[in-house]
Structure 1
Amino acid sequence: MDTDTVVWTTDKVRSTFIDFFEQEPRSHTFQRSSACAPLNDPTLLFTNAGMNQFKPVFLGQVDPNSPLANVQRAVNSQKCIRAGGKHNDLEDVGRDTYHHTFFEMLGSWSFGDYFKKEAIDYAWQLLTEVYRLDPDRLYATYFQGDDALGLAPDFEARDLWLRYLPAARVIGCDVRDNFWEMGEVGPCGPCSEIHYDRIGNRDAAAFVNADDPQVIEIWNIVFIQYNREPDKLQTLPAKHIDTGMGLERLVSILQNKDSNYDIDVFQPLFAKLATHTDRGPYTGRVGTDDVDLKDTAYRAIADHARTLAFAIADGAVPNNEGRGYVLRRILRRATRYGQQILHCAPGFFATLIPVVVETFGETYPELRAAESTILEIVQEEEQAFGDMLDRGIKFFTELEGELKENKVLEISGEKAFFMYDTLGFPVDLTELMAQEAGLSVDMAGFANAMETQKTRSRQAQKTARAGNAPVLELVAEQTAWLVDQNVLPTDDGFKYKWDVQLPATVMALYGKDGFLTGDSTADQGDFVGIVLDKSSFYAEAGGQEADVGTLEFLDEAGTITGRFTVTDVQVYAGFLLHKGAVEEGSIAVDQAVNCKVDYERRRMIAPNHSMTHVLNAALRNVLGEKCDQRGSLCNNEKLRFDFAHKRAMTMLEIKAVEEFCQKSVADAQPVKSKVMSLADAQAIDGVRAVFGEVYPDPVRVIAIGDSSSVEFCGGTHLENTAEAEAFVLVEETAVAKGIRRVTAVTKDAAKRALAGGVKFQALVDKIEQLPATTSGLYKQAGSARKDLDAAFVSAVLKAELRTRLEAIQKKANDAAKKALQQRVDLVLNDVKKDVAVALEEKMQTLVLNVDIAADSKASQRVMNTVKEIAPEMAFLGVSEAESGSGGKIMAFAVVPDRLMEEFDLRADEWIRATLESCGGRGGGKPGSAQGQAQDCADVSGVMDAANAFASSKVQSKTL
């Protein structure tokens, strides 16, 4: 390979790939070099790894007005994280030289444009003529067919490769290697992989797809022809190309390195990491040569630092759910490698983040913008993991001792999975520690436990998605069928009108077994999806729930012949699918219907949606421009808004946000909508767009007031904020690290919250006016606080009232303590008198009913007083929580050493015998003990029990 004339840096390789596919005549492409588009740069459209962002295109579900609807070809260099699901490389990262959790994927696509021949030609031209790879080192694979799938070998791809390569280097492979699927369902198809032999001058065919680091796959060309459904493969109406080439692998070849980790972008990370370890620099050892796992640790840590930095910059955060849980595992794996293998001090991992930012910041500016956030999150997570690591090591140590005591030398898969799943302990660490302890791990059992959990999770997801109704969704096969039947996308412009009964015509009926054709009808009780020529229903989008309502069936005379209840509306490629059940009558294609939206419900949704826009503006006004939207929900009950923010909002901030929104309602701000070209809309000063959304062209813009809120939005809205009538923010809470959620209500719900607040405020005012010495004041305030916590009122008011109730409780508590102090002083005088009488009568034990409200500190003062004036007397006191209440009582006793030795009278036994009749419990030492009974109706009986036990030991009298 002659690359002497070109210095192939990672940046150069990336830009060359994009430039190649943007050449004429390969026009109409979109460049995408960053996975996370800034909100103010709508030209950067694609936000997910691999083909996910184009899945709607493959499935024929793209809105006809979306920019994606006209895309024929695309090219990008995309940030990818592969650490979960079907394509999970996490456990391999570090162990070899070519797996990563984070990597860049050079991708090229065709959407119904070119197919196999052109894709293979482009690949060959780019690799051999542009990058100038040695053709004699290239191998290609093709799909050799699969009887179970009913698919023949892909001889077309094979023959296309034979134009460039000898037959010995065009290799048929099975479905595991050469049939590409993203998941259990979705677009898929046979693929053709390109492999490169790093050594050369040999026949390396046997090493293709053999996991040999010297013969590596560099590019995969997927021929998207099918859609995987739960029980079959369905041929797509159009054929697509989806390719992906690992940037790091390609760079390693062009830089003549044997390892991905030897390329330019990893060296700064290794250099920084070397400053934290006493194990020496990275030397590139792998497998059995890396006996101390030092170089494995270097690779894993460097990879994981990139993953965490890019993921957090894109808005993901480590937590206990979904992708956040994966990120937390990755961070902990890196931290464990550093502390356990490289002997790095806690906190080392965070110092790698600035290195990642410096290396990639020019290409991915979002890293620089989020550097402080990334550092803060990583530092906190790293510190928390230190505590978890200690717990895991403690658990392992105890488990090791237990196993060896029982002469067992294998850790069960269940125990290993418990450490992994519950304690967050990486299984490779469990294996390593087991090896050091002379134990093994049942990895097959671990894998079974893992698969059991995944199966349970998948089934739960399916059940949640399906509910009690069949899952109805239009994908490419169905949308193409509709087009073939000359069915046009649904005209949904009527969704912005109110209180209309829109006449429409049924264009298609879709059930669990497909479209109903001919004279077939959907009858009473059938759950189906209905496509209409036009509709006044709003389909779920932008966080707003779909409209519900009914479709009335009409005969030729306009008489109602039946009804269909619409429970959900979804849009696929412009076709609105009205889902629900036939309540009465029958319905067929070409049936006339009346669309009857439940406008009363929509009138509850619209103010919530409009005020969500106001809330977004309020948050930015109070917290700053960095609190970007991370999700929303608008339905007829509430509005919910998720946003980026590092900490919980203060009560002053929440109050300011609520008042901003309430002022918008009071000011009766007009809500204006305008449809305009996407380019013109993007040019509006201050316009907001939701991260990750692809907007149609033309796009609808909603403006509230003069400048408080301008956003892209296709939802249903008010005409004026005054129609919201009221606004109350009822909750502020955390969703994940760095993501907060506020929930609010409008109209009647807000009025109820306000009324509830007035009621509670009056209650607190009343309680506040009571004297601190009022009997039961502490409990009364506590009960009100408990009711308040469960109440539906403003979060601001709730916090204010909670603070006031806490102050009341403190006031009552302080007053009670003062009163008790005074009471105890009086009680002690009586106790001294009673003890003096007992001493005169030479009593050795004394039992008293002491009025100290069952206070433990006061009981200690009583016992100290008795010991001071009668050190040789055994004493037991009984006290009710409230005199005469017949409720909680406390007993306390002190016994001198002489009586313990002479009569075997022990304070702890005396207390237990005293409280036994009331079901109470107690304990302590032979010389001093106390106990309680929660429900005692017979205090005199307790006193009798105390005397009886004492009498069984020594003679006693009761005063």
Structure 2
Amino acid sequence: MKSQDIRKAYLNFFESKGHLIVPSAPIVLKDDPTLMFNNSGMAQFKEYFLGNGTPKSPRIADTQKCLRVSGKHNDLEDVGFDTYHHTMFEMLGNWSFGDYFKKEALAWAWEFLTEVLKLDKDRLYVSVFEGNPAENVAFDQEAWDIWKQYVPEDRIILGNKKDNFWEMGDQGPCGPCSEIHIDLRTDAERAAVSGRDLVNADHPQVVEIWNNVFMEFNRKADGSLEKLPAQHVDTGMGFERLCMAMQNVTSNYDTDVFTPLIEKVEQITGLKYTSNEVKNVSEEQNKTNIAIRVIVDHVRAVAFAIADGQLPSNTGAGYVIRRILRRAIRYGFTFLNTKEPFINKLVEVLANQMGEFFPEIKSQQQLVTNVIREEEASFLRTLDQGLQLLDKVVAETNGNEVSGAKVFELYDTFGFPKDLTALILKEKGFSYNESDFESELQKQKARSRAASEVSTEDWSVLIPGNVETFVGYDQTENEVKITRIRKVDSKKDGILYQIVLDNTPFYPEGGGQVGDKGTLVSANETIDIIDTKKENNLIIHFAKQLPENIEVDFVAKVNTDLRTSTSKNHSATHLMHLALRNILGTHVEQKGSLVNPNYLRFDFSHFSKVSDDELRQVEASVNSQIEAQLQLVEHRNIPIKEALEKGAMALFGEKYGDSVRMIEFGESKELCGGIHVKNTAEIWHFKIISEGAVAAGIRRIEAITGDAVKDFYKNQETTLAEIKETLKNPQDILKSVASLQDDNAKLKKQIEQLVKEKVDGLKDNLLADFQVINGINFLAKQVDLSMSATKDLAQAIGTSKPNSFVFLASVEDNAPNIHCYISKELVTEKGLNAGNVIRELGKLIDGNGGGQPFFASGKGKNVAGIKEALEKVINYIK
């Protein structure tokens, strides 16, 4: 069966068992501060397991895009070296929320694998939890008895807590699980060693394909377990591994999930990939195979993350995506000899392959391609810089072992991978101190852990079973009761208290809009609410202290000044989105936003700089909508299908329910949960402050509204008055500035002429200073000129004599610069290279540089180093 057919068969099977089929949630999580990425099929259903929400159906099935590259579940370093670990993978899942339990889950798993897919029953092994007396959790007799109906007892394996007790995290829902493993070895291998002995032993052909988790317990902060009020089923089957079993191959990479991508890499590089069936490949071929596996795996993770709205960056989830992509680029650079961007060319193959089931990769194909191409070009430049830095480290090393701390500095500061460093050092006859590197790495990890260390207590529930309601669209003040509290202690923020209310007017951070601030007021005290966020469907209010009496009634009061300013910026964002699409084209889509009381920031897809004229048009369009006094039209709990039919914009990477909130201002129609003005006239005025690039194909506009615009124009007035005063209060300020510019241009021309005359005079003097050494006309001098004039002089002198080697240095703004000219006949006949000269001698002035073999320049920081450079340059021709 082809992979497409396997996926459909799974979903059709569970639909026939009464399951609602739902789409995959975005791979990037935006409303769960405990996770960066969806790392399992159950992540999008956490709120239901925690009892904070009600699912659309008690039975659900899906295939979920997952990413495992950080935290507890981190497979990154295994990817490429084996045949079954991945960064991004699909998890086929079926779920029961308080409905069916072990009997149905296990029976249906067996039925699907053996009757629908016709997998060989004799190759399947199952495991059940052996129990844990220390935690008072018994052996899973029920699962054992169910499996005995389908599987001989010698293929039922007892598993320990590590293998057969699944936990969401350090706290939260958990329970025993029952895994299904398949033995894909040859008959001869199976006869020699029982598959039973290889289950959970990391054998590449005896692999887990399905895990049935039975959510029975809640793990508390002190480590103890308590029974959940309802029992749930959470299952996950690795799609890629299932395809391996169904397509009669022994590697995920030999399935049609990956072979189209591998074929494209082969076409681009001219290198061949050998399947897992080919044994005893050479060491060189094995390196090629690993590199290709890394690349085809990583491009999937990066492409889907970008399509879901996460751009590569230097922080958080964006840094993880950049790191995955750079790992792929580096493997191509080192082992496939790819020195130009090429991974972006795989996106088209991926879109054609998976676009039917995951339409986001098809619709965002151009953006994804452009972002990856730009990231590739940038990192290849970084690799080139890293090579120069490594040359400097080698030159400064006594002996043939480089300091591990230096290698770590290259890795940590410049993103230069240690294994690439090791490879280059080996070629130069060097090694590095690995224990020192690991020591520095562990220190960094310790610092990182300390900075992010968080201790979270269990929730203290004051009002059980309360379903919190948000009333903030209509009210900014409301009577409330505290329903639950917990204490959180982090290195970053110190001790904070998280408070949940029975109802709240506080808007929680989301959709780019910051969370509300305000107060909780009782008869005796006032508690400041410093932020509001949402976690697992709970609206959480942050405070630095708890009320003395948490059981009394409170009045929740939103800071309306901040709320009003924020709402103006949020509504202006919608108006600007419409204006950009009207002026630049309908390819414009929102790719990120920040809305706070001070300003708005809006990232959008567009492939060139927005011109000043276009920005003026956008400003004018938004302000015309403000002046039109457009009334807010709000649709709450409207079916998403109806909203889209009305023309509402939906954003990629956002998770929408069946019912949504739709905001209209005239022609502007968007799905949005944020706070808005009632009439566009409240915004007063809109002003763009800046526009620039964020990534390839992504632009960013920052703008202000309301009082911030008034302050902006006041500052402009003040600045203009100061300019007029500086210019002695001319009647026509523009004419005065133009006159200054004319005078400046004339003076500049005069200076250029004087410099030219000075260069000509120096040239005549220096021509007399040439020495002839080994048949080469040699000159090395320091001159009193600017950097550009010194460069011109070096070229002018060099071209005036045959067989010339000219090295000139000068100082400009207290920064030394050096230039080297070598006649082309010396380059071709004697192998001299000006670029190499500048790179080596540039170290003496604490700088770097480069250029062509016949001419190169460099700049540094250490002026004193010029003297030694002038003394040493003669060694190149001696």
Verify same fold: TM over 0.5. Answer: yes
| 1:833-852 equivalent positions in 2, closer than 5 A | none
Following superposition, the deviation at residue 156 of structure 1 comes to: 4.1
Partner of 2:529: 566
Matched, 1:489 2:460: no
Q: What is the CA–CA distance in structure 2 between the aligned matches of 1:923 and 1:137, rounded to whole Å?
A: 71
Q: Secondary structure at the match of 1:51?
A: helix
Q: Are the equivalent residues in 1 in contact too, given 2:247–2:255 (CA < 8 A)? A: yes
Q: How does 1:569-580 map to 2 (within 5 A)?
A: 569-570=532-533, 577-580=540-543
Cα distance, 1:132 vs. partner? 1.4
CA 1:367/1:680 → structure 2, altered by over 3 Å: closer, same or farther?
closer
Matching residue of 1:254 = 246
Question: Among residues 673, 677, 684, which one is paired with 1:725 in the alignment?
Answer: 684
Distance 1:262 1:602 in 2: 55
**Residue by residue, what CA displacement relative to the aligned partner does 1:350-407 show, whole Å, maximum 9, x if unpaired?**
443333333333333433333333333333333333333334445556656766x525
Aligned mate of 1:601, from 536, 539, 562: 562
Which of the numbers 137, 142, 152 marks the counterpart of 2:123? Answer: 137
C-alpha spacing 1:513/1:658, structure 2 compared with 1 (3 Å): closer
Change (3 A) 1:321 1:186: farther
Q: Give the superposition deviation at 1:299.
A: 2.4
Return closer, same or farther for 1:863/1:136 CA change in 2, 3 Å cut-off. Answer: closer
Q: Kindly, what percent of the aligned residue pairs are identical? A: 39
Corresponding residue to 1:328 among 307, 322, 326: 322
Secondary structure at 1:70 match in 2? coil
1:512 alignment counterpart: 487
Work out whether residues 95 and 286 of structure 1, in 8 Å CA contact, stay in contact via their aligned partners in 2: no
Q: Give yes or no for the alignment of 1:542 onto 2:524.
A: no
Could you say which residue in structure 1 is the equivalent of 2:827? none
SS at match of 2:481: strand
Question: Does residue 337 of structure 1 match 2:331?
Answer: yes
Contact 1:74 1:109 in 2 (8 A): yes
Distance 1:144 1:807 in 2: 86
CA offsets, 1:909-956, max 9 Å, x none? xx99xxxxxx9999999xxxxxxxxxxxxxxxxxxxxxxxxxxxxxxx
Q: Is the 8 A contact 1:137 1:196 kept in 2?
A: yes
Tell me how far 1:159 sits from its aligned partner: 4.1
TM-superposed CA distance for 1:97, in Å, is 1.9
Cα distance change of structure 1 residues 740 and 696 upon mapping to structure 2, 3 Å threshold:
same
Query: Distance between the aligned counterparts of 2:536 and 2:748, measured in 1?
Result: 72
In the alignment, which residue of structure 2 is the partner of 1:128?
A: 114
Task: Give the CA deviation at 1:647.
Answer: 4.4
How many Å separate the matches in 1 of 2:556 and 2:814?
Answer: 69
Query: Match for residue 652 of structure 1?
Result: 613
- Does residue 264 (structure 1) correspond to residue 264 (structure 2)? The answer is no
Matching residue's letter, 1:220: N
2:525 aligned counterpart, secondary structure: strand
Q: Choose 251-260 or 104-113, whichever is displaced more.
A: 104-113
Q: Does 1:116 align with 2:102?
A: yes
Cα drift, residue 95 of structure 1: 1.8
Is the contact between residue 540 and residue 570 of structure 1 (CA under 8 Å) also seen in structure 2? Answer: yes
Counterpart residue number, 1:52: 43
Are 1:238 and 2:242 matched, yes or no? no
Partner secondary structure for residue 326 of structure 1 = helix
Gaps of 5+ in 2: 29-36, 490-494, 768-783, 785-807, 820-878
CA distance in 1, matches of 2:505, 2:85: 51
SS of 1:630 mapped into structure 2:
strand
Q: CA deviation at 1:169?
A: 2.5
With over 3 angstroms needed to count, the CA separation of the structure-2 counterparts of 1:406 and 1:540, relative to structure 1, is closer
Partners of 1:195 and 1:658 lie apart in 2 by 61
Task: Assess, with a 3 A threshold, how the Cα gap between structure 1 residues 172 and 375 changes in structure 2: closer, same or farther.
Answer: same
CA distance in 2 between partners of 1:924 and 1:727 (Å): 50
Q: Which residue of 1 aligns with 2:414?
A: 423
Q: Distance in 1 between matches of 2:816 and 2:507?
A: 66
The normalised TM-score by structure 2 is 0.75
Query: Which residue is equivalent to 1:352?
Result: 346
Cα distance between partner residues in 2 of 1:563 and 1:920: 58
Distance 1:132 1:157 in 2: 23
Structure 2 equivalent of residue 943 of structure 1:
none
The residue identity in structure 2 corresponding to 1:644 is: S
Distance 1:278 1:163, change over 3 A: same
Find 1:750's aligned residue among 709, 719, 744: 709
Sort the Cα spacing of 1:512 and 1:354 in 2 relative to 1 into closer, same or farther, 3 A.
closer
Q: Check whether the contact 2:308–2:652 (CA below 8 A) recurs between aligned residues.
A: no
Match for residue 789 of structure 2? none
Q: 1:80-99 to 2 correspondence within 5 Å?
A: 80-99=66-85
SS in 1 for 2:309: coil
What are the superposed Cα offsets for residues 680-702 of structure 1, whole Å, 9 maximum, x if unpaired?
64244221234344446654332
Aligned to 1:215: 206
Letter in 1 for 2:485: Y
Paired residues of 1:221 and 1:241 also in contact (CA < 8 A): yes
**Separation in 2, partners of 1:419, 1:187:** 42
Q: How does 1:690-701 map to 2 (within 5 A)?
A: 690-695=651-656, 698-701=659-662
Residues 116-143 of structure 1: per-residue CA shift (max 9 Å, x gap): 3322222111111111112221112234
Please state whether the residue corresponding to 1:602 is helix, strand or coil.
helix
**1:13 has 2:6 as partner:** yes
Q: Does 1:622 align with 2:559?
A: no
Contact 1:145 1:174 in 2 (8 A): yes
Question: Over residues 637-688 of structure 1, what are the superposed CA-to-partner deviations in whole Å (9 max), with x where a residue is unaligned?
Answer: 2233333344443322322222222222222221222334324642442212
1:259 CA drift (Å): 1.6
Q: What is the CA distance between 1:750 and its match in structure 2?
A: 1.2
SS in 1 for 2:531: strand
Counterpart of 1:362 (choices 356, 362, 366) is 356
How far, CA to CA, are the matches of 1:119 and 1:483 in structure 2? 30
Corresponding letter in the other structure for 2:549: I
1:71 aligns with 2:62: no
CA distance in 1, matches of 2:440, 2:533: 37
Task: Name 1:587's counterpart in structure 2.
Answer: 549
How far apart are the structure 2 equivalents of 1:307 and 1:642? 22
Instruction: Give the 3-state SS of the residue equivalent to 1:275 in structure 2.
Output: helix
Q: Label 1:180 to 1:458 Cα distance change in 2 as closer, same or farther (>3 A).
A: farther
CA contact (8 A) 1:317 1:324 kept: yes
2:595 is equivalent to residue 634 of structure 1: yes
Shift of 1:753: 0.8
Match of 2:670 in 1: 711
**1:757 Cα deviation (Å)?**
2.6
Pairwise CA distance, 1:748: 1.4
Contact 1:223–1:242 (Cα < 8 Å) also in 2: yes
Judged with a 3 Å threshold, the aligned counterparts in structure 2 of structure 1 residues 421 and 696 are, in CA distance, closer, same or farther, namely same
Cα distance in 1 between the residues matched to 2:816 and 2:584 = 54
How far apart, in 1, do the equivalents of 2:741 and 2:468 lie?
Answer: 64
Q: Report 1:886-897 matches (<5 A).
A: none
Highest CA radius of gyration, 1 or 2? Answer: 1
TM, length-normalised to structure 1: 0.69
Contact 1:290/1:296 (<8 A) preserved: no
Q: Contact 2:342/2:373 (CA < 8 Å) preserved in 1?
A: no
- Cα deviation digits, residues 317-374 of structure 1 (max 9, x gap): 3343334333334334334433433345634434433333333333334333333333
Equivalent residue number for residue 675 of structure 1? 636
2:202 partner SS:
coil
Q: Distance between the aligned counterparts of 1:859 and 1:651, measured in 2?
A: 42
Code of the residue aligned with 2:528 in structure 1: it is T
Residue of 663, 678, 684 corresponding to 1:702: 663
Cα distance in 2 between the residues matched to 1:737 and 1:752:
33
Instruction: Report whether the alignment pairs 1:378 with 2:372.
Output: yes
Secondary structure (helix, strand or coil) at the match of 1:425 reads coil
For residues 50 and 20 of structure 1, the distance between their equivalents in structure 2, rounded to whole angstroms, comes to 18
CA separation of 1:639/1:420 partners in 2, compared to 1, >3 Å: closer, same or farther?
A: same
1:472–1:529 CA contact under 8 A, matched in 2: no
- State the superposition RMSD in angstroms: 4.5
Cα distance in 2 between the residues matched to 1:513 and 1:299: 42
Q: Distance in 2 between matches of 1:701 and 1:366?
A: 21
Cα displacement (A) at 1:147? 6.9
Aligned equivalents of 2:480, 2:341: Cα separation in 1: 66
